[in-house]
Chains A and B, each alone.
Chain A
Amino acid sequence: MACIMVIDDSSSMRALVKQTLAGAGHQIVEACDGLEALDKLRLAKVELVLCDVNMPRLDGLGFVRQARALPACKFTPILMLTTEVDPEKKRIAKEAGATGWLVKPFQPAQLLATIGKVLT
């Protein structure tokens, strides 16, 4: 299965996503903010990134901008995990280079289905 990076400053949220995805056989790389994620992106070959928006140090938008500048991540799907429903914020995320978004809270089945769609 795929190697998926989960970026969230909430460890319970990371654990929840990890539990869901690991159960489906995916391999998970965790990061607690954008900076750590950028570091880890240099080490691991990641096929999909799930990224929270609000995080300390480097937030989700900043992460997407910097990740898109890395050759290895140019086309890697990056999904924002967000509670935001404001279209304006989604537009900003898109401009930064985000592939799409998952609205929190999500159902495990829904998360897996969405990821299944992106990873093919």
Chain B
Amino acid sequence: MTIDAAISGLLDTFFDESFEGLDRAEAALLQLGDAAGGVSAEVIGDLFRAIHSIKGGAGAFGVDEVTGLAHAMESVLDDVRGGAPATADGTTALLVGVDELRRALDARRAGKPIAAGMHAALIAQLAALREATAAAAVTAVADDAAVAEGSPAWRVRFAPHVELMRCGNDPVRILRELAELGATDVVADTSRVPALAELDATALNLAWTLRLPGTVSRAQLDDVFAWVDGQCELTLEREQAVSKAQAVAAAPAAPPAAAPASVATSGGSLRVGVDKVDLLMNMVGELVITQSMLGELDDDGPLSPDRVGRIREGLSLLARTTRALQESVVRLRSMPVGVVFARLPRIVHDLGRRLGKDIAISLAGESTELDRTVLEKLGDPLVHIVRNSIDHGIETPAERVAAGKPAQGTVTVRAEHRGSTVAIEISDDGRGLDLPRILATAKARGLVAPDAQPHDDDIAKLIFAPGFSTAAQVSEVSGRGVGMDVVWRHIKELRGEVTLDSTPGRGTRTVLSLPLTLAIIEGQLVRLGDQTYVVPLLSILETVEYDSQPRRRWGVGDVIRLRDQIVPVVDLAAQLGIATGARADHRLLMIVEAEGAPIGLVVDELLAQQQVVIKSLETNFGRVDGLAGATILGDGQVAFILDIVALARDVRRTGRTADPASDDLQAA
């Protein structure tokens, strides 16, 4: 029976569960490392179970690459659970193990092969640690040599203890199995059976002797009697055997590993609490009631004031339920930010130790919920900012004491709701941004003019500029080659905002503001010819009259000078191939910000502002450059949502941000 196909559906659940387990294990291990001996049995039990479940699941689902490591880790943890001391070396090795398991499971989920035996060194290390703390029990391996054809027959005597049936075992089952193995000459010994009056139906007073063919292996016999070991007198001997062996039930040989299940590509499944689904169900119920209420009013009778009143009532009920439904669907997609925060203590722990800094991390607002997609993309930027704080912000203990601060530095990460956004604030009590150095670097990189004297706030923003990277940022610590410009870009892609402030000697604070959901945005409707388009409201800076502006041809398009900035202009109608019917002297230029720089979009008219629900073009039609999606307006018309970032990149590709000589433009 193959159940590969069935398994692959469950495999995702297994991965989800395992990653959750690893996160829990990591948190518990960090507690174990910090609290000197003061960790509750519950934490250790949870830790043990997390690894234990991965080992069990990995075996069952054919993810065999991790079972060996999980087993080694489990053994160490089992010792700890049994009272062995948790050493610092042990904790560190286990943390490495957690990382390795995570990596191996990740690779397996992505369908990449994992080299066999890659964990051998770590397994050996864990085993060595164990030996150091306790004498490792050596598991005796049953001698399961192949049985020669002409081996002498077995003589078996099986005398169960009276209580054998009280564990749910049944001698009939065992005898049936022996019969399958070819038992002959079965004789029951009824001598111990008491008189009927004294008979206890739950007690077993029988014993059997029988013969089995010599071709039956010892392992097969052990298998039959494995469950009743210790609950019976058992004699197994070869007919001319020299040795009498009291049965020792060896563990049944480990079954051959299950065939690797086909890996389901991660289709992005969602684990949702039952209560949330119940809430949805409730609201759908409300909708059905409202619908039937409105349906009753739908006849051809005259529109009496009473009927109009009831229709209005129904509509307002409908509006209320729809809004509630929308909110709960949004909530369905959200997860607590704690999921992402959970990675941070580990980073602070490892990196602080490596840099010789004493750093505590304080987390707040972990239960604040964010859209799943936002949350997935939040991880890397957040880690990067925290690494920056540790690497550049917090001083060494000696420096801190010299500056009159406590030796231990603190990184605080806090999440909270602010209107329709969630703010994630990362602050440290370190030395603050080194503004002179940032300015010097920026000048050296040609990001600002050599003689410029920008305001402090503007200097701070330079660290988000593409291509800005101080020497330390490409060090091993900040690693990954991810600069703050990537953080900026990621957050902008999520339609979020990054703000930064810093006080010399006191610390730095970075705030990421993120939208609650990506599925609904505040949009500005604009008219272009006879079409309506949507521009995300957040990206709009201002709108000016276009045709009265002095402009200049630059490369493939126009640029205008707006106050002190050169703004490239995108002629949307031309770009999108629309015949604009507007008079060429009444057009508007909407200035939008994309990736930190402004571009101007030529539109015919501004219409309403409203919330729009984003529908994916990829799933319903196909990808179109310059469009982020589509939405359906109140009147049923379909409107496209402009992809500002893509438009801006297109402009940059055509070279219009290469700063045109400003004199040249002033002449225009």
Contact = CB atoms under 8 A, between A and B. Distances in A.
A27 interface: no
A23 B3 contact: yes
A86 B79 CA distance: 13
Interface in A75-120: 75-78, 81, 83, 85-87, 90-91, 94, 97-101, 103-110, 112, 117-118, 120
B115 interface: no
A78 B168 contact: yes
Interface size on B, as a range, is: 35 or more
A16 B167 contact: no
A91 B3 CA distance: 33
B120 to A, nearest CB: 20
Contacts of A12: 10, 13-14, 17, 57, 61
B59 A105 contact: yes
A109 B58 CA distance: 18
A54 B48 contact: yes
Contact of A19 (B10, B139, B254): B10
A13 interface: yes
A15 B13 contact: yes
A90 B507 CA distance: 58
B177 A117 contact: yes
B60 A105 contact: yes
B226 interface: yes
B624 interface: no
Given A10-B56, A54-B48, A87-B249, A16 B169 contact: no
A17 to B, nearest CB: 9
B188 interface: no
B166 interface: yes
Do most interface residues of chain B lie in helix, strand or loop, or is the interface mixed? Answer: helix
A56 B256 contact: no
Given A12-B57, A19-B3, A20-B3, A107 B14 contact: no
A41 interface: no
Contact of A99 (B53, B167, B176): B167
A3 interface: no
B515 to A, nearest CB: 32
Given A16-B10, A99-B167, A94 B60 contact: no
Contacts of B181: none
A105 B255 contact: yes
A112 B3 CA distance: 13
Contacts of A91: 230
Given A10-B56, A13-B60, A83-B59, A107 B256 contact: yes
B10 A15 contact: yes
B254 A103 contact: yes
Interface string A25-69: 000000000000000000000000000101110000000000010
Contacts of A54: 45, 48-49, 52-53
B56 A75 contact: no
A14 B176 CA distance: 30
A100 to B, nearest CB: 3
Nearest to B172: A120
A13 B60 CA distance: 8
Contacts of A19: 3, 6-7, 10
B55 interface: yes
B630 to A, nearest CB: 38
B167 A11 contact: no
A58 B10 CA distance: 26
B167 A103 contact: no
Contacts of B166: 68, 74-75, 97
Contact of B251 (A52, A74, A97, A103): A103
Contacts of B1: 23, 108-109, 112
B165 interface: yes
B137 interface: yes
B173 interface: yes
Contacts of B255: 103, 105-107, 110
Interface string B243-281: 000000101101111100000000000000000000000
Contact of B61 (A11, A16, A23, A117): A16
A90 B168 CA distance: 15
Given A101-B227, A105-B257, A83 B10 contact: no
Interface in B28-85: 45-46, 48-49, 52-53, 55-61, 67, 71, 74
Contact of A104 (B59, B137, B168, B177): B59
Contacts of A90: 229
B230 A10 contact: no
B231 interface: yes
B251 A85 contact: yes
Q: Which of B168, B170, B177 gathers most chain A CB within 10 Å? A: B168
A13 B18 CA distance: 11
B59 A94 contact: no
A15 B230 CA distance: 33
Nearest to B45: A56
B6 to A, nearest CB: 5
Contacts of B230: 91, 94
Contacts of A74: 166, 202
Given A23-B6, A105-B67, A107-B258, 14 more contacts: A16-B60, A19-B6, A23-B1, A55-B49, A74-B166, A74-B202, A75-B166, A91-B230, A94-B227, A98-B167, A104-B60, A107-B256, A110-B255, A117-B176
Those 10 A-B pairs whose CB atoms lie nearest each other, nearest first = A105-B59, A100-B227, A99-B168, A77-B168, A12-B14, A105-B60, A12-B13, A85-B251, A104-B56, A10-B53
6 contacts: A12-B61, A13-B56, A86-B137, A94-B229, A100-B226, A107-B256
Interface of B: 1, 3, 6-7, 10, 13-14, 17, 45-46, 48-49, 52-53, 55-61, 67, 71, 74, 137, 139, 165-170, 172-173, 176-177, 202, 226-227, 229-231, 249, 251-252, 254-258
